[in-house]
Amino acid sequence: MECLACKVTDLDVRLNKCPICFKWVCDNCAVRSFGRAFCQRKCADVFFWGDEDED
């Protein structure tokens, strides 16, 4: 496994799985929000606000 952003592997650092899209991200690249680590701001917003396609 490797970080989505910086490509560092899980052998070198601890990786977190994004709770929305399940991509792996390291602590340095993670977007921290709501007490969780997300791979990008978009996933953090979906976690809190929900998906826009809920019509």
- 1-55 residue pLDDT tens: 999 999 999 999 999 999 999 999 999 999 999 899 999 999 999 888 777 665 5
How confident is the model at residue 34, as a pLDDT? 82
CB 31 within 8 A of CB 41: yes
| Amino acid code (one letter) for 44 | A
- Position 50 scores a pLDDT of 78
3-state SS assignment for residue 49: helix
pLDDT of residue 13: 95
User: Which residues, 6+ apart, have CB-to-CB distance to 10 below 8 Å?
Assistant: 1, 2, 24
